[in-house]
Amino acid sequence: MNKQYLLLNKNVLNFKDYCNHHFMDVLEHILSKSQPISETTDFDSGIFKKSYLNKKKPVLLKGYANNWNATKKWNLDFLSELEVKDDVILEIGSNNQSDTSFTHQKLKAFIESVKQNRHDNGKPPAYLTLFEIFRLFPHLKEDVDFSIFTKYTKVNDIYAWVGPKDTVTGFHYDTLNNLLAQVMGEKLVVLVSPKHNKKMYISKKYDLGAVSSEVDVNNFNEESYPNFKDVEFLSVVLKPGDVLFIPKKWWHYVKSVDTSISVNNFGALLSDIIFTKPKEIIKHSLHCRGYYRSKNNCTCHMVVDGEVINRF
């Protein structure tokens, strides 16, 4: 594991002692007990399908994106020069576990605030998530190459993620397989197998295409989640050019080590087209109409002065 995260006091004997000593932020403890994620530099698509996609096994494709145009030329200045007419949506804090909070801002203004490290120190930094950069700028699709994965998928939803150091996406799992590519900066990812579902304390908070955990590792309550201490973790720090395969239903926690640009591809297999996607569309339609999960407890709406505001 990256040494900058191994700040754990060697005298800490158990999970409870660690919680008490570190005011319930247990990330360092998790990293100290985590195992590395399998990695490969063999980018043969057939091997990827047989050994990882079919087996639902995570893998780090080490350096897979080293030669992408995105990895070579994308930076904050590059993004700032993109002409985006409408405001972008920024997440504030980890909406998976905390109260949902988002805001809108011009892309150029947001990028400038990141460059100058401007944010309210009393609040978590703003995070540009699920940015549909390739819908707005189709020619930029030439800057990435997810073909090792998209050779087998039928529908692909590709997004960019941009934020300063310490932006966090808390533990959740996605209902589709995911390739996460690191373009600029470094990003910490912690994975948990679906076999630990009961120990991850599934949240009732609604999230389109995903399921959240109630556990906030940065503000952990051991009395509420006692079995979490028995979870087995995998972890990796993604460097520019690294691509991580996160199989569907694998829990993951993500934190930016420094200013970061990432691109991900949610890929739907034929089985997902038949079963998963229709189910998600129906649930979201019912949710927006007030028939499935409360708008007071979801990641797509927030309540401000009693008024429900739709993120989208």
- For 49-95, the pLDDT digits (tens) are 999 999 999 999 999 999 999 999 999 999 999 999 999 999 999 99
User: Where are the domains positioned within the chain?
Assistant: 3-304
Contact 225, 202 (CB under 8 A): no
- Biggest CA-to-CA distance, the chain: 54
- Residue 261: strand pairing partners: 162, 184
What is the percent of the chain with per-residue pLDDT over 90, rounded to a whole number? 88
Phi and psi angles of residue 120, each rounded to the nearest 5 degrees, phi first = -70, 115
Contact 248, 210 (CB under 8 A): no
- For 172-193, the pLDDT digits (tens) are 999 999 999 999 999 999 999 9
- For 229-273, the pLDDT digits (tens) are 999 999 999 999 999 999 999 999 999 999 999 999 999 999 999
The dihedral through the CA atoms of 146, 148, 149, 153 has a sign that is positive
**Number of residues in the chain:** 312
DSSP code string of 128-153: EEEE-HHHH-GGGGGG---HHHHTS-
* Residue found by looking up tokens 């739907």 in the block: 268
- pTM of whole model > 0.95? no
Among 25, 49, 30, 74, CA closest to 199 = 30
Decide if domain 3-304 falls under CATH 2.60.120.650: yes
**Which SS3 state, helix, strand or coil, does residue 41 take?**
coil
